[in-house]
Amino acid sequence: MSCAFQTKDAGHTWTMFHWSNMLGNPFCAGVFHPQNPKIVYAAYGYPSTLRISRDGGNTFVPHGEGLPGNLRQILIDSAQPDLMLAATETEVFRSFDAGTHWARVAKTVGTVTGLHIDLTSSMKQRRIFLATREAFYRSTNNGNTWTQSGAGLPLLPVRAFTAGSRADSKICRLYAWLDTASADGTSQGVLYRSSNGGTSWEQASKLPVPKGEAEQHRYLLTTDVRPDTLYAVQPARSNEPFVHRSDDAGSTWHPVMFGNKRQPSFNLGMNHTATYFNALAGWTITAAGICPTNPDIVLVSDYCTPYLTQDGGKTWKNLDIHHAPDQGKPANGHRWLNNGLTNTTTWNYYVDPFEHNRHYICYTDLGFARSEDAGKSWMWVRDMGPNTFELAFDPEVPGRIWAAFSEVHDIPNNNIVTGGHRCMGYGIVGMSNDFGATWSDPTLGVPINDERWYGSHRRPNGTLCGGLPQTPITSVFLDPTSPRDRRCLYASAWEHGVYRSDDSGKTWTSISNGLGAPGVNMRVCRVRLHADGTLFCLVTGKLRDHWLMPEGVGLYASTDHGVSWHNITSPLDVRWLTDFEVDPRDSRAIYLAVCDDPSRGLKEGGLYKTLDRGQGWERLVRYSALHFSASIHPRNPDWIYLTLNYNEGKASPLWLSKDAGKTWKPFEDYPFCSAHRVHVDPVHQDRIYVTGYGGSAWVGPLEP
């Protein structure tokens, strides 16, 4: 997420672009110059502003005077590449000098779904087609003027548009995938086609999608070299084929992408998700593209995996990961090798305190990964649910680990705090006695697997099991001074509070008196126990009526083992806290990461510090609206690593201070735009591991 990658070997290996060079963009696909392969145009990050590369995509620079951001499509005239078009959601811009200067030529009522330059038209007065969600338009003079041109098209939303044209054969095919849902959610999808420049349209075929997906985005793909070859990509994966191909301009179709492993027609490459799931039904298709010079080369990607076919859909190779050698046929539990396409949010990275070759990653959506060869290869563990926030290791028993598992992801990032995603769900404190290979629920004494998450052992959200509510568990911490056979654990239960167990997680008691705002905001997201016995817990922000509420938000401390709590951030008027770190030498010295409150438009984000447990706070630095954490070096407590949840494309997301926050130096070579937490390798003391909001986990030098 938010990252951009380059491959030079058809997806076998990948390299992430440095964040200052190119950021990922989910809205607008990049385009290669049709005559000069060294020139590439792409939209940068979520601002979606135009950039150009003149060295084959290695480096990009801003480009385009008069062109705003929010780009949704970039189009080049393949016969005269100085003519370019670019579309935002509701505007179309044109350039006559290869994108150096731009002028607006159209403003639409509906959302733009596609553009095409007709290569059969005059090069001096190009015919251009513009499809929006509500209507279809045509220009016969390079986009200077436009007329609506949709005779024969029914009044249905245009969900996808594509076109192909050949000057030598005078063929121009326009395709529109129209769809709406009936009262019961059934798709009414149909494909319409025009072969006379949009003057008239005819129904080519019925093209429905699975029930419930009629309102969703989907893809139509064709090329100028073979306009009658067409691919239809449905909005999401299903147990049935979800990509179809036509070689007669959409009149007939045959399936080419089979994702159900139980069926003999299954033709996808095997990766860690495919070995675990029989079919990833419901996973959204997030991208699809076709090679402009060879329609047999197509890429289709879901949430986790891009697939590439080079034989017109007969076989599809996964591009995200490699099966480690000497294991036989890929199977669940096998080892996998990173090929550079590092993706998905990570929260924490751990090196096992007993066997240092064992490493662990806490993931969002992917669950959990473990390595037995110091990170060279990884085994994916998904039985315990989609999200793992934190681990706690027994200080005396090798292989014994507790974990914070959650059905809800992204806590405490923007999707949750500002209301972008659902924020309630299931959660468990899990326990492993075999270095994370298998997990159990100590409250029920049953294994944690799909049956525990989704089957008969699942309890309604919030139900107490052993006194612990079944809600997202965002943090777990072990008191190292507790008895070996009855470990004392603390867990933060989202929207419920802090809970304590004195029997290694079998039973739990709420210790939340004075914490947060009960019934209003109990968004506890991290709990920590200092060596002097002081407990700390962070309560993050919550949206109410489009405003982040002040109730409950704060960093809380307890000096009586959780019997009572008090808010030590009351002097600060901040509404969105993300993380904290306490000096191991002195529990009065605390670092606190804060994000801007977007509802108030204030710039209160930054890294704060107190030396007197909250009586006074000083903001040390502000490098972004979205700070995330501070991590203290375990052997040099004055060394502080600062991270940004998102750097806004302006500053490094990773910094180091060697003087307790007085001065800072950035890690300029850190490639990703986000960093969550820093973990120092206990063996290789010149090495750190960095997690982030997308981009997976990175290993790098101890200091810049």
Residue 644: enclosing H or E segment and its boundaries? Answer: strand 640-646
Q: Which amino acid is at 646?
A: Y
Q: Which strands form 497-501's sheet, in the order they lie side by side?
A: 473-478, 489-493, 497-501, 509-510
Look at residue 234 and tell me whether its pLDDT is greater than 90.
yes
Residues 6+ apart with CB under 8 A from 519: none
Per residue in 613-624, pLDDT tens? 999 999 999 999
Question: Structure tokens of 553?
Answer: 């938000």
* CA triple 698-14-338, angle to 5 deg: 50
Backbone angles phi, psi at 113, to 5 degrees: -115, -10
Query: What are 663's strand-pairing partners?
Result: none
Per residue in 298-322, pLDDT tens? 999 998 899 999 999 999 999 999 9
Per residue in 84-113, pLDDT tens? 999 999 999 999 999 999 999 999 988 999
* CA triple 672-676-679, angle to 5 deg: 100
Per-residue pLDDT band at 197 (split at 50, 70, 90): very high
Mean pLDDT, the chain, as a whole number? Answer: 95
Per residue in 147-182, pLDDT tens? 998 888 998 899 999 999 999 999 999 999 999 998
Question: For position 280, what pLDDT does the model report?
Answer: 78
Question: For position 239, what pLDDT does the model report?
Answer: 87
Per residue in 421-448, pLDDT tens? 778 888 999 999 999 999 999 999 999 9
Per residue in 349-389, pLDDT tens? 999 999 999 999 999 988 999 999 999 999 998 888 899 99
When pLDDT is averaged across residues 45-59 and rounded to a whole number, the result is 96
Query: What are 488's strand-pairing partners?
Result: none
Look at residue 522 and tell me whether its pLDDT is greater than 90.
yes
8 Å CB contact between 698 and 683: no
Q: Which amino acid is at 214?
A: A
When pLDDT is averaged across residues 620-631 and rounded to a whole number, the result is 97
220 versus 424: which is more confidently predicted? 220
Question: Structure tokens of 300?
Answer: 């289709």
When pLDDT is averaged across residues 105-125 and rounded to a whole number, the result is 95
Per residue in 638-658, pLDDT tens? 999 999 999 888 899 999 999
Q: Sign of the CA dihedral 692, 695, 696, 698?
A: negative
Backbone angles phi, psi at 337, to 5 degrees: -110, 135
- Look at residues 484, 401, 485 and name the one whose alpha carbon lies nearest to residue 439: 401
Per-residue pLDDT band at 449 (split at 50, 70, 90): confident
Question: For position 450, what pLDDT does the model report?
Answer: 78
Backbone angles phi, psi at 245, to 5 degrees: -125, 140
The residue ranges of DSSP E strands in 367-495, in sequence order, are 368-371, 378-381, 387-393, 401-406, 427-432, 440-441, 446-447, 464-465, 468-469, 473-478, 489-493
pLDDT more than 90, % of the chain:
87
Per-residue pLDDT band at 693 (split at 50, 70, 90): very high
Question: For position 371, what pLDDT does the model report?
Answer: 98
Per-residue pLDDT band at 14 (split at 50, 70, 90): very high
Question: For position 663, what pLDDT does the model report?
Answer: 98
Is the previous residue joined to 671 through a cis bond, with omega within 30 degrees of 0?
no
When mean pLDDT is compared across 18-27, 33-42, 457-466, the lowest value belongs to: 457-466
When mean pLDDT is compared across 123-132, 153-162, 446-455, 518-527, the lowest value belongs to: 446-455
Considering all CA atoms of the chain, what is the largest pairwise distance in Å, rounded to the nearest integer?
A: 84
Dihedral (Cα; 486, 491, 493, 494), 10-degree rounding: -170
Is the previous residue joined to 412 through a cis bond, with omega within 30 degrees of 0?
yes
The Cα 221–Cα 191 span in angstroms is 13
When pLDDT is averaged across residues 532-545 and rounded to a whole number, the result is 96
Residues 6+ apart with CB under 8 A from 394: 400, 401, 402, 478, 484, 487
Per-residue pLDDT band at 419 (split at 50, 70, 90): confident
**SS3 for 272?**
helix
Query: What are 230's strand-pairing partners?
Result: 246
Residues 6+ apart with CB under 8 A from 294: 223, 225
Q: Sign of the CA dihedral 167, 171, 177, 178?
A: positive
The Cα 455–Cα 468 span in angstroms is 19
Question: For position 570, what pLDDT does the model report?
Answer: 94
When pLDDT is averaged across residues 604-620 and rounded to a whole number, the result is 97
Per residue in 269-291, pLDDT tens? 999 988 988 777 888 999 999 99
